[in-house]
Chain A
Amino acid sequence: NAGVTQTPKFRILKIGQSMTLQCTQDMNHNYMYWYRQDPGMGLKLIYYSVGAGITDKGEVPNGYNVSRSTTEDFPLRLELAAPSQTSVYFCASSYSGGEAFFGQGTRLTVV
């Protein structure tokens, strides 16, 4: 049971670079989410999707973009990386409003 899989696990970016964080789930969940977690803070919602082709902004969307072309995949794109984007990023999925499952996270450092 793979569940929610995120790649890469770790990444160091230079300021101004861009990258895509990958997230895939094999549970046929319609809802998918991207959260960021900063030290000592709770999780903040970046973007979410309720189905293929549908995405919407969360609390902290600035500097990020997403797409949802398939049910399984929900990549998060960082354009022009900034030090403020140093964080741990979590992808999650659920079947509608049911139990949410999280990936193992991507630890990103922007220098």
Chain B
Amino acid sequence: KQEVTQIPAALSVPEGENLVLNCSFTDSAIYNLQWFRQDPGKGLTSLLLIQSSQREQTSGRLNASLDKSSGRSTLYIAASQPGDSATYLCAVRPEETSGSRLTFGEGTQLTVNP
């Protein structure tokens, strides 16, 4: 059974700092990995999708990397801003074609202080 772990569970940083969020998964047979952002009381917003054949994806100040063989992904946020404060979730999709469901980590709660 696939298990996804996110470390740290919570992170507080001053504005302007560069930071890294970590995601690890136990079964390396994944199809893709997706990073989401969730604001309090809101739904999930997709940030980045990395296919298993890719090493990284970038969107603005966000960069996600994937090391499938070691079962790890990182989300790098450059020059953090108070508006980046949210919970960040990673989810993996298995290689098997039936269902192709996402398995989620429990998230990292990020606070960026002005």
Contacts and interface: CB of A to CB of B under 8 A. Distances in A.
Contacts of B89: 42-43
A25 to B, nearest CB: 13
Given A31-B100, A42-B89, A58-B101, A101 B46 contact: yes
Given A33-B101, A45-B101, A99 B34 contact: yes
A69 to B, nearest CB: 19
B44 interface: yes
A92 B41 CA distance: 16
Give the dominant DSSP class at A's interface: strand
Interface of B: 4, 31-32, 34, 36, 41-46, 49, 89, 91, 93, 97-107
B49 A102 contact: no
Contacts of A48: 99, 101
Contacts of B98: 50
Interface residues of A, number: 26
Contacts, number: 58
A99 B44 CA distance: 12
Contact of B100 (A35, A41, A50, A104): A50
Contact of A96 (B34, B44, B100): B100
B68 to A, nearest CB: 15
A102 B43 contact: yes
Interface string A87-111: 0001010101111111111010000
A97 B43 contact: no
Nearest to A44: B104
B49 A98 contact: yes
A3 B106 CA distance: 25
Given A90-B43, A101-B46, A56 B106 contact: no
Contact of A50 (B41, B99, B104): B99
